[in-house]
Amino acid sequence: MILRVLNFVVIGALVLAAAYVYRIKFNSTVQAERLARLRGEVRHECDTIAGLRAEWGQLDNPERIEELANRYLQLKPIAPTQFDTLDRMPARPSQNVWADGADPIGGIIQTLPGRDGITGSIPAPAPLPSGAPKQ
């Protein structure tokens, strides 16, 4: 009797082992199909990148750009009278403009004559109430 029970246990273990092996095989087949699909997608993307690089090389061709510039832009050669001498260059801003180190460009803009530091597109900030914390 004990041998019969042992035989059923061994047969059950073999069936479970076979089911487990089948599950592993099925999962590996699914993963192999996924890998093949991903490789195909990567190959397709590499082909697309190669096509885009070829198109970029064609669009970036200097002769083509020169032809388009001549056709669509009314550019004229630079005349020597368009240059100015260095003695007419504006003076360098004083050092106190960026002495605080916060914002040198903002300091230059603030010191320009006729500027109040507010652009036309941005309204002036509202004054803070006396009890409000400063940011």
Q: pLDDT tens for residues 73-85?
A: 888 888 888 888 8
- Does pLDDT of 11 surpass 70? yes
Write the CB contacts of 115 (distance below 8 Å, at least 6 apart in sequence): 109
Whole-structure pTM over 0.85, yes or no?
A: no
97-to-54, 103, 109, 113, 115 alpha-carbon distances in Å: 50, 9, 9, 14, 15
Whole-angstrom distance, CA of residue 4 vs CA of residue 2: 5
Q: pLDDT tens for residues 47-57?
A: 999 999 999 99
Q: Residues 111-122: what's their mean pLDDT? A: 58
